[in-house]
Amino acid sequence: MARTFFIGGNFKLNGSKKSIAEIVDRLNKAALDVNSEVVICPPAAYLDSTVQAVTSKQVSVGAQNVYVKASGAYTGENSVDQIKDLGAKWTILGHSERREYFKETDQFVAEKTKFALDNGVSVILCIGESLEEKKAGQTLAVVEKQLTAVIAEVKDWTNVVIAYEPIWAIGTGLAATAEDAEEIHASIRKFLASKLGDKVAEEIRILYGGSANGANVASFKDKKNVDGFLVGGASLKPEFVDIINSRK
């Protein structure tokens, strides 16, 4: 089956009201590939204004994180219900920065994933290994462990997109080759098939997210298991449109 090309833009803790409005305006006016789905994830403070500004039918808005409770005494957290109330439809979960800086465990990421899905928010689920783990040949063991925690909690994967993000490539300018990414993605899909069945595994989109930018995305064009990109810094720049259109 043909999986719809998916491009996520993770703005991280970057941007201002003005700069994000400019990004959205550029997307609204661009001739985006009609066979692509785009989700932009601004900082939480700009979710409302971003949702209000998006007019392109191909672009949705997501949060960068959610909590395992919809409301209550959880100062500083993002509520699934409040995200939906603003009109956002997605959230990024399990990003390596959340795992590293905020000590989120595989189990906690799995619980958040289940809660978001159960409450109507789709999930971009991030997995990936560190440089030390890569050098030790542990890439597949690491991503399988991360996925296993989520598989134990989530039964319906319809609204999950997986983003393979090698930690060693995020923000470093380094990137896996298209061939390396294809090999890892194929192994991830094979593992998913062993746990969830062939049909589910074939339907799940697997994105590459290690320093994807306008200069390197064309090399991934013909890789059958690379279904799109989760883009960091480049999503703040005009080249984000080129990434979206890289398969036209």
Tokens linked to 127? 């997995």
**What distances in angstroms separate CA 122 from CA 62, 138, 222, one per listed residue?**
9, 29, 27
* Annotation says 185 is catalytic: no
Q: Residue for token digits 């989109």? A: 205
Smallest Cα–Cα separation from 163: which of 7, 33, 34?
Answer: 7
Q: How far apart are the first and last CA of the chain?
A: 19
Per-residue model confidence as pLDDT tens digits over 27-70: 999 999 999 999 999 999 999 999 999 999 999 999 999 999 99
The stretch 186-195 carries a mean pLDDT of 98
Tokens linked to 84? 């939906």
Rounded Cα distance, 2 and 224, in Å: 10
Rounded Cα distance, 146 and 67, in Å: 18
pLDDT value for 1 = 59
Strands, E assignment, the chain: 5-10, 36-41, 59-63, 90-93, 122-127, 160-164, 205-208, 228-231
pLDDT value for 186 = 97
pLDDT value for 172 = 72
pLDDT class for 212, splitting at 50, 70, 90? confident
Q: Would you tell me the crossing angle of helices 139-153 and 178-196 to the nearest 10 degrees?
A: 40
Secondary structure in 3-state letters for 50-87: HHHHCCCCCEEEEECCCCCCCCCCCCCCCCHHHHHHHC
Q: Which residues pair with 228 in a beta bridge?
A: 6
Delineate the domains of the chain, giving CATH numbers in brackets.
5-244 (3.20.20.70)
- Of the candidates 97, 129, 165, 182, the residue annotated as catalytic is 165
Asked if 214 and 169 count as a contact pair (C-beta separation under 8 A), the reply is no
pLDDT value for 168 = 81
pLDDT value for 177 = 87
* Annotation says 95 is catalytic: yes
Chain centroid to CA 5: 13
- Of the candidates 95, 97, 182, 185, the residue annotated as catalytic is 95
Per-residue model confidence as pLDDT tens digits over 116-127: 999 999 999 999
Contacts of 139 (CB under 8 A, 6+ apart): 129, 133, 166, 184
Asked if 217 and 181 count as a contact pair (C-beta separation under 8 A), the reply is no
> Would you mind telling me the total number of residues written for the chain in this entry?
248
The pTM of the full predicted model, rounded to 2 decimals, is 0.96
Per-residue model confidence as pLDDT tens digits over 128-157: 998 889 889 999 999 999 999 999 999 999
**What distances in angstroms separate CA 205 from CA 53, 131, 198, 211, one per listed residue?**
27, 24, 13, 18
